[in-house]
């Protein structure tokens, strides 16, 4: 699935500049607990979260993720967006809840991928 | 790579938003050295978990990383409260993190087990009232 499709499916708004909408992603992970993302996730490229702080970007960066979607209408602040830009991570916001966002993406073929723990 | 590279960082104890800066810096430096992506990722995650622990459990501390032929060594040292029962702290799900830390997305009790899992050598020493030192190694190959 392309980043472009993720944005469409989640009716999400890009909030970082220069998003590569054509970039292919295959797997995603949804969590508000960064500890769990770090513990159980492997090779996912999209992070869907309702947590809104700089550690979300740090965590995504550590895991080599390329895209973050903030759900439940969470609006990341300037500091978070600058950090994401520095790390070349595309950031979107969506009004959908976590459950609905993950469900819609799954329905369209995005998968959770390999996990270990 | 013949020469040894040393990186040193001070982790502030009162600024949660800055926790992770050291790990992010190490990660980009390791990448620039051309080390394999999975090696870089394992080292970065292990260090990041340790760095977060320094910030939330130990009022800050210091990190020293050395990269030499074949191995990344990371040492985290603090003068925090120390850990009374290391075996318990190492078990998955054990956490003394307050609700405030949980609301920031941490405190699942997965950090130390994770650090052990992602590193090839893991050693922890701690004395209550004195501090904690963790040494980790990630093999490059
Ligand atoms: N540097 C440290 N100084 C003092 N206590 C520590 C330190 N690191 C860890 N601990 C103790 O060990 C417990 C377990 O640590 P661990 O990193 O596994 O989990 P956590 O930090 O509570 O949650 P998570 O890492 O999942 O966000 C902590 O809750 C804390 O009580
Ligand atoms: Mg921890």
Mean pLDDT of B114-135: 97
Where in the sequence is the domain holding A77, given as residue range(s)?
Answer: 3-107
Handedness of CA A3, A99, B106, B115 (dihedral sign): negative
Give the mean pLDDT of chain A. Answer: 93
pLDDT tier, B2 (very low <50, low <70, confident <90, very high otherwise): low
Q: Which ligand is nearest to the CA of B90?
A: 1
Instruction: Looking at the complex, report in whole angstroms how far the Cα of residue B44 sits from the nearest Cα belonging to chain A.
Output: 6
In A, minimum Cα distance to B101 occurs at A33
Atom 31 of ligand 1, nearest CA residue: B96
**What 3 state SS string does A2-66 have?**
EHHHHHHHCCCEECCCCCCCCCECCEEEECCCHHHHHHHECCCCEEEECCCCHHHHHHHHHCCCC
User: What's residue A92's pLDDT?
Assistant: 98
A89 belongs to a structural domain: yes
Look up the CATH number of the domain holding residue A66: 3.40.1390.20
To the nearest 10 degrees (0 to 180), the angle between helices B111-118 and B37-57 is 150
Contacts of B64 (CB under 8 A, 6+ apart): B6, B7, B8, B9, B74, B75, B77
Q: Is residue A43 part of a domain?
A: yes
Residue A87 lies in a domain: yes
pLDDT of residue A117: 44
Residue B88: exposure state from Cβ atoms within 10 A (0-12, 13-18, ≥19): exposed
Can you say how many angstroms the Cα of residue B24 is from the centroid of all Cα atoms in its chain?
A: 12
pLDDT at position A116, please?
54
Total structural domains within chain A = 1
- pLDDT, residue A42, reads 75
The answer to whether residue A81 sits within a structural domain is yes
Given a cut of 90, whether residue B67 has pLDDT beyond it is yes
Domains and CATH numbers, chain B: 5-139 (3.30.565.10)
Percent of chain B residues past pLDDT 70, beyond the cut: 99
Contacts of A35 in chain B (CB under 8 A): 105-111, 114
Q: Does A79 lie at the interface with B, CB-CB under 8 angstroms?
A: yes
- Tell me, in angstroms, the distance from the centre of ligand 2 to residue A24's CA: 32
Q: Give B108 Cα–ligand 1 centroid separation in angstroms.
A: 9
Is A115 inside a domain boundary? Answer: no
* Band of pLDDT at residue B129, cut at 50, 70 and 90: very high
pTM above 0.90, yes or no: yes
pLDDT tens for B94-104 read 999 999 899 99
Tokens 């392309």 found at: A2
What pLDDT, on a 0 to 100 scale, did the predictor assign at position B106?
Answer: 94
Q: Which residue of A has its CA nearest to B115?
A: A39
Cα A3 to averaged position of ligand 2 atoms, centre (Å): 32
pLDDT given for residue A33 in this prediction: 93
Kindly state whether residue A77 falls inside one of the protein's structural domains. yes
User: What residue in A sits closest to B114 (Cα-Cα)?
Assistant: A39
Average pLDDT of span A86-106: 97
Residue B8 has a CB neighbour count (10 Å cut-off) of: 11
Stretch A103-111: mean pLDDT:
95
Distance from CA of A38 to the nearest CA of B (A): 7
Chain A hits for B108, Cβ within 8 Å = 33, 35-36, 39
Specify the 3-state DSSP secondary structure of B71: strand
Task: Reply yes or no on whether the pLDDT at B1 is more than 80.
Answer: no
What's the pLDDT score for residue A35?
87
Stretch 87-116 of chain B: residues touching chain A, C-beta under 8 Å: 104-111, 113-114
Chain A partners of B27 at a C-beta cutoff of 8 Å?
61-62
Q: Which tokens belong to B133?
A: 């030192």
Q: Flag the least confident range among A99-103, B13-17, B107-111.
A: B13-17
| pLDDT-based confidence at residue A44 (cuts at 50, 70, 90) | confident
- A94 in a domain, yes or no? yes
In a domain, A114, yes or no: no
pLDDT at position B47: 98
pLDDT-based confidence at residue B3 (cuts at 50, 70, 90) = confident
CB atoms within 10 A of CB B97: 18
pLDDT tens digit string along A19-36? 999 999 989 999 999 988
How many of the other CB atoms lie within 10 Å of CB of A36? Answer: 18
């Amino acid at each position: 699935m392309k980043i472009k499709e993720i944005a469409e499916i989640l009716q999400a708004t890009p909030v970082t500049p220069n998003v590569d909408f054509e970039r292919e992603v295959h797997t995603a992970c949804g969590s508000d607990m960064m500890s769990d993302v770090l513990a159980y996730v492997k090779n996912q490229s999209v992070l869907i979260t309702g947590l809104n702080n700089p550690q979300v970007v740090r965590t995504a960066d550590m895991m080599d993720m390329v895209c973050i979607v903030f759900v439940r209408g969470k609006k990341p602040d300037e500091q978070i967006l600058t950090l994401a830009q520095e790390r070349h991570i595309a950031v979107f916001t969506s009004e959908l809840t976590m459950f609905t966002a993950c469900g819609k993406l799954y329905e369209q073929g995005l998968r959770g991928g390999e996990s270990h723990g | 790579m013949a020469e040894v590279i040393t990186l040193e960082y001070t982790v502030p104890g009162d600024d949660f938003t800055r926790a992770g800066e050291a790990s992010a810096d190490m990660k980009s430096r390791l990448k620039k050295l051309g080390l394999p992506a999975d090696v870089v990722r394992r080292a970065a995650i292990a260090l990041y978990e340790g760095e977060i622990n320094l910030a939330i459990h130990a009022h800050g501390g210091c990190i020293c990383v050395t990269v030499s032929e074949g191995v990344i060594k990371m040492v985290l040292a603090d003068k925090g409260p120390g850990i009374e029962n290391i075996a318990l702290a190492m078990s998955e799900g054990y956490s003394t993190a307050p609700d405030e830390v949980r609301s920031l997305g941490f405190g699942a009790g997965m950090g130390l087990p994770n650090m052990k899992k992602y590193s090839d050598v893991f050693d922890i020493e701690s004395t209550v009232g004195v501090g904690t030192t963790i040494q980790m190694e990630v093999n490059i190959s």
